[in-house]
Structure 1
Amino acid sequence: GGKKTQEEGNLRILVLASSRLYCTFVLLLLIFTPRVDSSWWYIGALGARVICDNIPGLVNKQRQLCQRHPDIMQSVGEGAKEWIRECQHQFRYHRWNCSTLDRDHTVFGRVMLRSSREAAFVYAISSAGVVYAITRACSQGELKACNCDPNKRGRDRDDKGEFDWGGCSDNINYGIKFAKAFVDAKEKTVKDARALMNLHNNRCGRMAVKRFMKLECKCHGVSGSCTLRTCWLAMSDFRKTGDYLRKKYNGAVEVTMNQDGTGFTVANKNFRKATKNDLVYFENSPDYCLMDKAAGSLGTAGRICNKSSRGTDSCEVMCCGRGYDTTRVNRITKCECKFKWCCAVECRDCEEAVDVHTCKAPKRAEWADQT
């Protein structure tokens, strides 16, 4: 019996030791595995079902703003669809093409965990999208909290002379104020380098929309002569903001935290310092060539490439040197168009055979390494 009791005791010690080891392993895993947070970006996928308690990943302040302003959240949801479309337009010819994950609360997946220039762009354009959507909804009278810009009253002048403020000036300052309060709230709950990076890029996005405000005027006077003008400030098309931020992405500055943790210093002393209008990032991007679940890269296998291009959409760059497959497909195009008096254009539908080139998948061995 004594032998049996000893064996049981040894077994108990073994079980205890292995469960301790397991707990330590889980703890280490939690400490060193970056958390993929849900994001307010998911509001765009909820459509008309924006119920504040159902939006995953909101911090307290965001939930309070949501409950206080359900109509604004509706606009934020519409804006989210718009800026994601713009992001996908800007990167349509790139290995990383701003692809989103269906029914995923993080929207972009693990790719946002890395403090890369892609993350910098997404934070900037998402912040810009909120400003744009709210400002537009204010002017269209869809929101209770705001309408046209109340400060644009009376007389003013520009390089063409004097004019009267009239019409409905876009209330960009309200859009910026709400976007700052809502979007920045999450980053303000954490005091780390990534939060500081996100806050900086969020601001770049907000200011990008304001940069493209334009003065629109209507002429009054004898037969439309511009002796009297009524003017208002209007936002430009969101594409301008997208194009601008895309240029900022190209020139994004790699930075490191300064010693007291309040700002950035440039990572490479030979490069210029980041200004408040530059996008900033900490880590180099993966090459996005192969599927890599840990990095959130979907790879470029099956992506369409342009055989005759020398840019990022070329088969050489897009397929990362793996080569491409060519398929012949029939396409219907408009042809033999004639102008008919007055005033229509009539065309025939013509079928033409075109070659479509798609990137080859990697060989099995290198594929297996990445997953």
Structure 2
Amino acid sequence: MNLLPSGICFSVCVTIFWFTSEVDASWWHMGTLGSQVMCDNIPGLVSKQRQLCRQHPKIMQAVGTGVKEWIGECQHQFQNHRWNCNTMARDHNVFGKLLHRSSREAAFVYAISSAGVVYTLTRACSQGELDSCSCDPGKKGSSWDDKGTFEWGGCSDHVDYAIKFTQAFIDAKEKKERDARALTNLHNNRAGRKAVKRFMKLECKCHGVSGSCNVRTCWLAMADFRQTGDYLRKKYNSAVQVVMNQYGTGFTRALRKFKRPTKNDLVYFEDSPDYCIRDHDSGSAGTGGRICNRTARGADSCEVMCCGRGYDTSRVSRTTKCECKFHWCCEVHCRDCHEEVDVHTCKGPS
């Protein structure tokens, strides 16, 4: 089994990626000994994280299988921007050296990864995949909302359990450090966890004669993770630059013109690179070869995406479904339409 180099491990980003790319499923079925050997060989974990890993191998496995989901959400949110949440193959961690800098992008990565772990664990609990949790045991008896009273039933997502475990595991390394960077990481981790709980929604089923809804049975359910991603993307846009306070115990806004950061805001210390040119030290993959929109005026425009270097245009063939018709009952028939389209890609640095 090949291990990632030790010494550089930022929060969940290295650890969880290691589970998905390096750990063979057979390790988890070797019992306590197999889990201990596996957990002891993950680079960069502090003692508290190794302890939790040994005690909860099924949770580790569940989180490992869900990591692609939150990385995919990160890449969706930034697909049309110079920094597109790109991952770095064969690097010390999944995002390369991006996390060496306390930038807006690093803040978003910490928040979305923390949120992703909460979401994955909550779902695993509700689906009965873990021995240590299931549906929320506190949702019993009667309650009420703006529509009146209802009875708790079904399976309410146990998000509080997931938040508690995620905080204990992910924050353990940062709490050991307690420097300026650790404080911002802890803040952004918490903002990510809170974001998932923000979008819990009450779902109900009506009971009564002819659907009269005399009695309602309700449960709390997580919203689609896209809502969390959209929310954290907005928090990225309004992230607050901070500096350490005079006592070295916390941080405050860097400039008076900035708003005071709340517990829901993302915070960062350092300015971001422009991500125009590939730079291994800053974690920038550059925009050479990226597809751009020649007619747009936003972040995905060729002018912005290509950083003034210009772009190449190529003619490509594309097949799409067209002239779709509904046939009773119940099929949709479409034709395959072929077209030639122009694709514009940014030039690399000269």
Pairing 1:312-331 to 2, within 5 Å after superposition: 312-331=299-318
**Post-superposition offset of 1:294:** 1.6
Question: Residue in 2 aligned with 1:40?
Answer: 15
For 2:123, what is the secondary structure of its paired residue?
Answer: helix
Q: In 2, are the aligned partners of 1:36 and 1:106 still within 8 Å (CA)?
A: yes
Matched, 1:309 2:296: yes
For residue 320 of structure 2, the aligned residue among 333, 347, 359 is 333
Distance 1:296 1:105 in 2: 11
Mean Cα deviation higher: 77-86 or 167-176: 77-86
The code of the aligned residue for 1:44 comes to: T
Distance 1:311 1:58 in 2: 41
Distance 1:294 1:104 in 2: 12
The code of the aligned residue for 1:338 comes to: K
Matched, 1:156 2:143: yes
Deviations 1:146-197 (A, max 9, x none): 1110100000010011100000000010000000000101111112100000
Question: Residue in 1 aligned with 2:244?
Answer: 257
Pairing 1:70-109 to 2, within 5 Å after superposition: 70-109=57-96
Larger CA Rg, structure 1 vs 2: 1
The code of the aligned residue for 1:92 comes to: Q
Pairing 1:340-351 to 2, within 5 Å after superposition: 340-351=327-338
Distance 1:103 1:362 in 2: 24
Pairing 1:232-243 to 2, within 5 Å after superposition: 232-243=219-230
Q: In 1, are the aligned partners of 2:63 and 2:120 still within 8 Å (CA)?
A: yes
Distance 2:271 2:8 in 1: 19
For residue 254 of structure 2, the aligned residue among 231, 254, 267 is 267
Deviations 1:295-338 (A, max 9, x none): 12111000000111111111010000111000000000011111
Distance 2:250 2:227 in 1: 29
Matched, 1:127 2:102: no
Question: Residue in 1 aligned with 2:4?
Answer: none
For 2:262, what is the secondary structure of its paired residue?
Answer: coil
Matched, 1:139 2:114: no
Distance 1:136 1:321 in 2: 45
Distance 1:56 1:171 in 2: 30
- Give the TM-score of the pair, scaled to structure 2: 0.91
Distance 1:215 1:221 in 2: 19
The code of the aligned residue for 1:37 comes to: C
Distance 1:131 1:320 in 2: 37
Residues 58 and 36 (structure 1), Cα distance of their counterparts in 2 relative to 1, 3 Å cut: closer
Residues 267 and 283 (structure 1), Cα distance of their counterparts in 2 relative to 1, 3 Å cut: same
For 1:262, what is the secondary structure of its paired residue?
Answer: coil
The code of the aligned residue for 1:186 comes to: K
Distance 2:201 2:249 in 1: 35
Question: Residue in 1 aligned with 2:277?
Answer: 290
Q: Which runs of 4+ in 1 moved over 6 A?
A: none
Distance 2:118 2:73 in 1: 14
Q: In 2, are the aligned partners of 1:41 and 1:106 still within 8 Å (CA)?
A: no
Q: In 1, are the aligned partners of 2:242 and 2:253 still within 8 Å (CA)?
A: yes
**Post-superposition offset of 1:53:** 2.8
Gaps of 5+ in 1: 1-34, 364-371
Matched, 1:62 2:39: no
The code of the aligned residue for 1:45 comes to: S
Distance 1:104 1:52 in 2: 20
**Post-superposition offset of 1:130:** 0.7
Gaps of 5+ in 2: 1-6, 29-37
For 1:321, what is the secondary structure of its paired residue?
Answer: coil
Distance 1:72 1:270 in 2: 43
Q: In 2, are the aligned partners of 1:47 and 1:78 still within 8 Å (CA)?
A: no
**Post-superposition offset of 1:41:** 3.3
For residue 208 of structure 1, the aligned residue among 182, 187, 195 is 195
Distance 2:190 2:312 in 1: 43
**Post-superposition offset of 1:198:** 0.2
Q: In 2, are the aligned partners of 1:48 and 1:74 still within 8 Å (CA)?
A: no
Distance 1:219 1:44 in 2: 42
